[in-house]
Structure 1
């Protein structure tokens, strides 16, 4: 994204949509199903299903773990966006470095603008790159964000802040995750408000 586009998106989001180019939320239905799948022991699946999955994608377990971290990060981030404060969340358990800095900047803008999020954003994340052989294992997640249920309100009046008319209702974002001490962390997050999906 060009710097001017990025700044325009941040400016619009801070005042009009509480950083719609950055703020997203997990679909609670998708998240709970994925958590349940991740929490089940491998022996709970039928032997034929387990063996076919393993042969089809030997990295399926790591991809699932990375996606789970990404979704949980957004669960915690949405808790913060709903009150314009990181306090009482576990955001630092799932996000760090540049990603955490971006989210904290969002919260500063929200507080200054006097807005909070009351709606949701849909997700359609997928692991599009996985490198487990390097010294620092990394994963890239590409997400299609859905603004159709997104809602930002002004704290003082309760008025809904409409999305800008030029804002695509579905747009792309990417996240980079690194595996630290056996668990995945989101280290960068980049929204592309001008890329429809």
Structure 2
């Protein structure tokens, strides 16, 4: 859970300035998850927007493989982004994207003793 929560913490911090080149993301994310986070930050940078606030997370581990010495973990979350919103340079709320609770599925893998989120799927609002 430390890696999953760490990934979100670093992402939320980077989103405050749309810092798509943040080296901190690689500490907690790799593969598709890392690419998705960087792409989202880059898109916000290009649009000149930032994200303020903090999502509320409720993650739980649903499986560990293999059970005796796990190297793979599956996480399900019901993340609430109603207090984590996108703003333009003048501080105005941007977009009409519904905010609220959405399911997040994550896959974490063990790399040289460090857990990293490697796959991340964020569903639409209202999915949990």
Give unpaired runs (5+ residues) of structure 2: none
1:35 aligned residue? none
Instruction: Decide which structure has the larger Cα Rg and report it.
Output: 1
Find the residue that maps to 2:123 and give its secondary structure: strand
Q: 1:187 to 1:110 in 2, by over 3 A?
A: same
Cα-Cα RMSD = 2.1
Matched, 1:187 2:118: yes
User: What TM-score do the two structures reach when normalised by structure 2?
Assistant: 0.89
Map of 2:88 onto structure 1: 154
Q: Deviations over 1:48-97 (max 9, x none)?
A: xxxxxxxxxxxxxxxxxxx0110011111111111111445511011011
Equivalence for 1:117: 51
**CA distance in structure 1 between the aligned counterparts of 2:99 and 2:82, rounded to whole angstroms:** 10
Identify, as 1 or 2, the structure richer in strand. Answer: 2
Aligned to 2:61: 127
Decide which of 42, 65, 72 is 1:138's aligned counterpart. Answer: 72
Q: Which residue of 1 aligns with 2:32?
A: 98
Give TM-score scaled by structure 1 length. Answer: 0.59
Q: Please identify runs of 4+ aligned residues in structure 1 that moved more than 6 A.
A: none
Aligned to 2:13: 79
More helix by share: 1
